[in-house]
Amino acid sequence: MDTETRLNTMQWLEGVDYITSARAALQREAAPENAFLDDLLRYLVLGVEQAVKAVLTFRHVEFPGADRPPTLYDAEGHVTLPAHFPQASEIPALFQRFPPEYQLESVWEQLQRLVTLSEDFCRGEDADARTGMLQAILDTADAIARWAKAEIEPLNWDEDLVNEALRRNAQDVLIHLVIWVSMNGDDWRYAQALCVRLSSHPNPVIRGDAMLGFGHIARVHHRLQRSIVQPVILSGLQDPDDFVRGQAETAKDDTSLFLGWRYDR
Task: Please tell me what DSSP assigns to residue 76.
Answer: T
The band of 5, judged by pLDDT with boundaries at 50, 70 and 90, is low
- Segment 166-179 shows an average pLDDT of 79
Domain end call among 96, 125, 152: 152
**CATH code, domain carrying 128:** 1.20.120
Q: Is 222 left (phi over 0), alpha (psi -120 to 50) or beta?
A: left
Residue 105 falls inside a structural domain: yes
Are 243 and 135 within one domain?
A: no
Is 105 buried (19+), middle (13-18) or exposed (0-12) by CB count in 10 A? Answer: exposed
Are 60 and 147 within one domain?
A: yes
| pLDDT score for 205 | 87
Contact (Cβ atoms closer than 8 angstroms) between residue 6 and residue 156: yes
Q: Which domain holds residue 200?
A: 159-259
- Segment 59-82 shows an average pLDDT of 50
Burial call 212-226: b when 16+ CB within 10 Å, e when fewer: bbbbbbbebbeebee
Burial call 125-151: b when 16+ CB within 10 Å, e when fewer: eeeeebbebbeebbebbbebbebbeeb
Are 69 and 171 within one domain?
A: no
Most confident of 90-104, 137-151, 216-230: 216-230
Residue 169 falls inside a structural domain: yes
pLDDT in tens, 33-56: 887 787 777 777 777 777 777 777
Residue 264 falls inside a structural domain: no
Are 146 and 166 within one domain?
A: no
| Residue scoring higher pLDDT (199 or 23) | 199
Domain end call among 123, 152, 181: 152
Whether 16 shows a pLDDT value over 60: the answer reads yes
| Cα distance between residue 138 and residue 22, in whole Å | 8
Domain end call among 125, 152, 179: 152
Number of folded domains that form the chain: 2
The band of 100, judged by pLDDT with boundaries at 50, 70 and 90, is low
Most confident of 71-80, 88-97, 121-130, 146-155: 121-130
Are 170 and 135 within one domain?
A: no
Mean pLDDT of the chain: 77
Are 184 and 209 within one domain?
A: yes
| Residue scoring higher pLDDT (22 or 80) | 22
| pLDDT score for 81 | 45
